[in-house]
Amino acid sequence: MQVKVNSGSDHYSVGATQFDKILEQVTHRDIVITDNNLTACYPSLKNISGNLITIPAGEESKSFDQYEKVVEQIFQSSFLRNGTIFAIGGGVVGDLAGFVAATVHRGVRFVQVPTSLLAMVDSSVGGKVGIDLRHGKNLLGSFYNPAAVYIDPAVLQTLPVEHFQNGMAEVIKYGWILDTELLEILNQETLTATSRNLQEIVFRCVALKCDVVEEDFTEKSGLRAILNFGHTVGHALEAQVKYKNLLHGQAIAIGMVAEVAIANELGLSQLRTQDIEPLFQQYQLPICPTSHVNLDQLISLMLGDKKSTGNGIAMSLVLEPGQCKLVDNIDPALVRRVLANIWS
């Protein structure tokens, strides 16, 4: 199974490949960046021909400090421009390694090997790479395409159930913004890491994202912003807790429910929170915060979101199932009122 991507000036493919076959492609010239969870699951990573750089697992590693440590290790290894950086891991590894690849030697070849469901269906495809700052998520980064993306859905069987469910938030997102038939499939069957149709669902999501990215690679038209449904609220929640004890998928699940309520309050949609909540509950994803939220701070973080143009809050809102658009200049007071109401 393969999806071809024509993105910016680059052309690359997203293909299904066995994990061991991927590792065989690593040469002595290359760098593999992964995390300590992966090296524990796959001891074969320690036997690769290239240099192995291991970072701590978790969102906290998507930081400037970790970026600097990785770059230092790369230059200590005498890595040259003709080498390739392989990102083997989830979204954190892919985003960090991609940003490293975009900046080391002013850009080197880069291959994404996503090992989490979230990374497979979303973050490994589309060329967005970067790190988090204390001011917010993904605020320092670049558009930098991989040379290839290799996906082996079998590795998802090593994921803790919570992390598989975390990735399902992004899968559900694609249904609400682009693909109502996908929503029907997800409602009929609860996907697991061993589902026979999992690879088909993964590549269905990849194809949906590729279609959007090809039309608006650098987010100039606003089309690509629909991929951020739930992310304005979700990213702010992640930043508020300093990326601890709240997985990305959990945050955007809460964000999608909240943003449906905001769209309804704005009169842009007839969808209600009870229309969207059951599918998240099916995958044991949260629909509201489980601890106290400082709403004033949250609004401030949303105003600093990278989609913002300086006119109120910007959100990608679902107008009806399968249709989504970027809406800016949303009154912060309205957002605060809606959040206070649904989270009370």
Q: Comparing C-alpha atoms, which of 298, 204, 210, 205 is closest to residue 251?
A: 298
d(CA 208, CA 74): 35
Question: Which of 235, 238, 259, 307 does the annotation list as catalytic?
Answer: 235
Does the active-site annotation cover 248? yes
d(CA 51, CA 49): 7
Q: Are 174 and 209 in contact (CB under 8 A)?
A: yes
Does the active-site annotation cover 228? yes
Give the tokens for residue 339: 């959040």
Does the active-site annotation cover 209? yes
Does the active-site annotation cover 162? no
State whether residue 240 is helix, strand or coil.
Answer: helix
Question: Which of 59, 231, 238, 259 does the annotation list as catalytic?
Answer: 231
Question: Which of 62, 128, 137, 163 does the annotation list as catalytic?
Answer: 128
Does the active-site annotation cover 224? yes
Question: Which of 62, 137, 204, 248 does the annotation list as catalytic?
Answer: 248
Residues ≥6 apart with Cβ < 8 Å to 135: 239, 304
Does the active-site annotation cover 128? yes
Alpha helices, DSSP H, located in 31-137: 36-41, 64-76, 91-103, 117-118
State whether residue 178 is helix, strand or coil.
Answer: coil
> How would you label 111-134 residue by residue, b for 16+ Cβ within 10 Å and e otherwise?
bbbbbbbbbbbbbbbbbbbbbbee
Question: Which of 214, 219, 265, 277 does the annotation list as catalytic?
Answer: 219
Question: Which of 204, 228, 238, 307 does the annotation list as catalytic?
Answer: 228
Question: Which of 59, 170, 238, 259 does the annotation list as catalytic?
Answer: 170
Question: Which of 224, 238, 259, 307 does the annotation list as catalytic?
Answer: 224
Q: Sort strands 10-16 and 31-35 into parallel, antiparallel or unpaired.
A: unpaired
d(CA 66, CA 86): 17
Question: Which of 209, 238, 259, 307 does the annotation list as catalytic?
Answer: 209
| DSSP structure class, residue 294 | -
Which residue in the block uniquely carries the two structure tokens 């066995």? 18
Give long-range contacts, CB 8 A cutoff, 24+ apart: 270-275: 270/320, 271/318, 271/320, 271/321, 273/342
State whether residue 329 is helix, strand or coil.
Answer: strand
Helix 332-342 × helix 295-303 angle, to 10°: 140
Does the active-site annotation cover 292? no
Does the active-site annotation cover 238? no
Active site residues: 106, 128, 170, 209, 219, 224, 228, 231, 235, 248
